[in-house]
Amino acid sequence: MPCCCLQPEIPSLFMFIVFRCGCGRHLYARKDAKTRTCPCGKRILLSKVRVLSQAEDAAAAGEMVRRLQMGSREMTGFKPAHI
């Protein structure tokens, strides 16, 4: 018999977090991940990062990262594709 005092766990709408590495690069990772390795080589413990934003899916998180990288510092690390 189920207990009426236990609240069912409501799944979060946000599955990805956006954060910044010490090198300045913005990254995203799944919310339930423990670590993320930056392209600079540093392994980041996600339990200790400052979450800048959250996203529902990887595409939205990637777009947030691109906008943050293109911010005031113009530090992109991305090259435009020439067609």
Instruction: Kindly tell me if the per-residue pLDDT of 42 is higher than 90.
Output: yes
Instruction: Kindly tell me if the per-residue pLDDT of 82 is higher than 90.
Output: no
**Range 16-69 has CATH code 1.10.10.10:** no
Rounded to whole angstroms, how far apart are CA atoms 16 and 59?
10
Label residue 63 by pLDDT band (50, 70, 90).
Answer: very high
Rounded to whole angstroms, how far apart are CA atoms 28 and 59?
10
Report the pLDDT value the prediction gives residue 13, as an integer from 0 to 100: 74
Mean pLDDT over 49-77 rounds to: 84
Q: What percent of the chain has pLDDT over 90?
A: 58
Report the pLDDT value the prediction gives residue 43, as an integer from 0 to 100: 96
